[in-house]
Amino acid sequence: MASAEAPAPAPAAPAAAAVAPRRLVRFAVDSDDLSQLFPADFVRTYSDLIRNTGDLAALRARFPDSVVELIDRGLGDPTGAATIANIEPGALTAAEGADRIRAWHAEGRPDLIAYCDQALIANVVAAWGQLVIAGHPSAQVQFANAGMLGLHADLTIIWNPAYRARAAAAPDGSLLEAAGADEETLARLRGIAQGLSQHQGLLAVLERDLTLIPELAAAHAGLLAELVHLLP
């Protein structure tokens, strides 16, 4: 599966906090079985399974360090919080998905995504016309399925460093200090940040090499399945 990001609505006013684009890739886990979800940068499930705002609050509380996102597959969105249109047979058509995205855009919902098989991308683009295509650095690509993970969930790689990027701390660490971090913790975190900045080249190489994951996974699916079978 591939996900293509729709343009975000124009902000009404400049953001108060600076947003720092990240070079490191991030990951999203999704499942239609809430018990199979695990902590990741993004945790996704279907909007019809989240029946009310209490369910949504409970899911967010369960994954406090993750961004929870809801996928509309055409079976309902009781909380009105879905931002991902699931376009595939048995879910939304390309036209229905485009209509969803237009409506959400008009409502001001941010970070909208069309989630579809790569074979359907041409239809999605024809219906919407403004999506980022899979293979573009900003695209999101699902590269691991339930058979590869050994549990009922899928894993997606997020290439776009600016997609739902969190506010960055000021250089003096004021946000950390406001959160109550002591001097020793601040010094350690500053050291980590400095070390990462000195190795951006290596991180870029790592990010480039990660593009090989889908190809390698497809080529060795049988071996991976056997490995999962052998794991205790």
> Who has greater pLDDT, 70 or 176?
70
Q: Quick one: what percent of the chain has pLDDT higher than 70?
A: 56
121-128 vs 94-107: helix axis angle to the nearest 10?
50
For 5-62, what is each residue's pLDDT tens digit?
665 554 444 444 444 444 567 899 999 999 999 999 999 999 999 999 999 999 999 9
Q: What is the pLDDT of residue 130?
A: 63
Q: What is the pLDDT of residue 116?
A: 83
- In angstroms, the Cα distances linking 147 to 33, 43, 195, 221, 223 are 15, 19, 37, 9, 11
> Who has greater pLDDT, 130 or 112?
112
Lowest pLDDT segment from 134-143, 178-187, 213-222: 178-187
Q: What is the pLDDT of residue 10?
A: 46
Distance CA 30, CA 43 (A): 6
Q: What is the pLDDT of residue 177?
A: 44
Residues ≥6 apart with Cβ < 8 Å to 118: 1, 2, 134
Q: What is the pLDDT of residue 227?
A: 57
